[in-house]
A and B are shown apart, each in its own frame.
Chain A
């Protein structure tokens, strides 16, 4: 398995305040990694920085993807390389339907046109996995969606866009038990269909039950505080983060 994502000594700042103080981590092709840590530790910042969010400036270190340095690349270029970020708070875009937006994104990322009929088929099969009502396809992107619906719509995009690396930022937060199950099934389907890698930022271990985790990273105060295998998740579930702070 080759190296997919390699982050070296990454430092990021927002409004002149440093948030990540030198984070290193490597995700290989096909691996599933989990990032845990207390609130405000910098987990979401790490996810956003990998995607190239303009909210954070990189003040040191590098991000490489498949051996190429992408540290200062625009988010759309990263998306075309195969990086996907499921947002914790997906943005509402009025006037654009989920379906037409996703078709446009699909064409941008694959660089190929897709006929409407072929796309509908692709979209419908992904919606079935997530038990989404077909009418969502024609609703305005995230507008008036409940928290759970927004998260499902993110996973729907993951299933359609089939990235090489999916970063899931608290995809399970605010979901009821049934919705967590559905979203988990979607993530599992992505894994099975594409063999892609996952970087899952979470507080909750429920979403991980159906997945086999290769590596766990604990982030506290902008640094990697601990690393280990899947067993680390159980330890945190039992004892919390106290010992890492």
Chain B
């Protein structure tokens, strides 16, 4: 516990440092057919992709902004730079990555984590991947881990990408899905062959360094039958005054009897609009496990969705959201039970302080064919002061009477009595409150990869130090 409450104050500069951009590498801001064609040409898209982008742009123009969540009025899409030319093509050796970019990832601890605990790493800086590599033995097992652009141009994967890309999340899904379809760039493609169980995780890290820009990476993961994969995603950006936009998209296909664990720690800076879409299709007796930590961004809309298509498919969602001053984080999860004997479990914690707003939305749909299915939702919120807000908005649609569903929600404030109790044992007020918050989050943080759990506790400490005293 010492590690959780007494971690030396880490400097926020870990995330806030930045390098100047050469603005000649920016495409013009705004989202127009000309910009889209330019991005497509820069990237050397195959023809179908150029058409896909333009079609998505058309849909984007037709669709309305969401009207049901936190306000995104402060986001002016005409001012967002959708694409930034990389200085150099993607490398497989860190020493070939441009110095300032490599230093950024070194400060974030990515090459070190790669050496110590990962099977492969992808690193995106602004619009493009700058580094991708997998361990030799992993590559030899047939696992493919690369950027989507390379894979799209590789005859072995071109067809698989064309048949899966934005099929789970079509551009018509919502306005920012359409935007993503038009301007997407970077991200990862992972393919795990039948029967391959990858014991150590792969990790992609997304860093948005440029001012007033957008990041639109696309992650497509296909896990074949009888396989296992743990994929970790991390994101951060330095703080600017101008709004930034993150509208990524994650599509996961989990084959029969397979498990895919997808862990995210999102720590965007507090000028970021994080409008992200994640979705998984889960096969027979297969399982998707989402672990999601949302700490950063000004506004977030994030509701990973699991579609349980095979008999006995399972989904587990474990999430924690921490909304501080100036943050309105709207997070949650959706589950669709689409086959018999499927089960789902959602377990979340949300914390709000210093006027932060955190809203948890859960949606569980049990279709008529999903007989014998089970779903349990448990969400707890903790407000650290009277300025902050926490809401829980559950919906459940159950179309069969042969299903078992449960929902449990608790909203509370940090109690003076608990703080006094801990202080009477020698802990100062900050440590006492940090301990209560860490304890509240423990159930969820223990699910995070170790270094992320440590980072999360550091973040809690920074947030707590900022709020009290």
Residues of A participating in the B interface, judged by any CB pair closer than 8 Å: 51-55, 74-76, 78-80, 84-85, 87, 90-91, 93-97, 100-105, 107-109, 140-141, 157, 161
Contacts and interface: CB of A to CB of B under 8 A. Distances in A.
B435 A157 contact: no
B429 interface: yes
B415 interface: yes
Q: Which 10 A-B pairs have the closest CB atoms?
A: A95-B439, A95-B442, A100-B1, A108-B426, A75-B423, A105-B425, A109-B426, A79-B426, A96-B439, A91-B421
A161 B442 CA distance: 25
A95 B443 contact: yes
20 contacts: A74-B423, A75-B423, A76-B423, A76-B427, A76-B432, A79-B425, A90-B421, A93-B436, A94-B443, A95-B441, A101-B1, A101-B422, A102-B425, A104-B2, A104-B6, A104-B435, A105-B426, A107-B2, A108-B431, A109-B425
Interface residues of B, number: 28
Contacts of B425: 79, 101-102, 105, 108-109, 157, 161
B428 interface: yes
A75 to B, nearest CB: 4
A169 to B, nearest CB: 11
Contact of B435 (A74, A85, A93): A93
Contacts of B428: 74, 76, 108
Contacts, number: 93
Contacts of B436: 93
Nearest to B442: A95
Contact of A104 (B421, B427, B443): B427
Interface of B: 1-2, 5-6, 415-418, 420-429, 431-432, 435-436, 438-443
A91 B6 contact: no
B426 A103 contact: no
A205 B205 CA distance: 65
B439 A76 contact: no
Given A76-B427, A105-B427, A93 B2 contact: no
Given A74-B423, A104-B6, A105-B427, A55 B439 contact: no
A166 B421 CA distance: 15
A75 B417 CA distance: 12
B347 to A, nearest CB: 13
A85 B424 CA distance: 7
Contacts of A79: 423-426
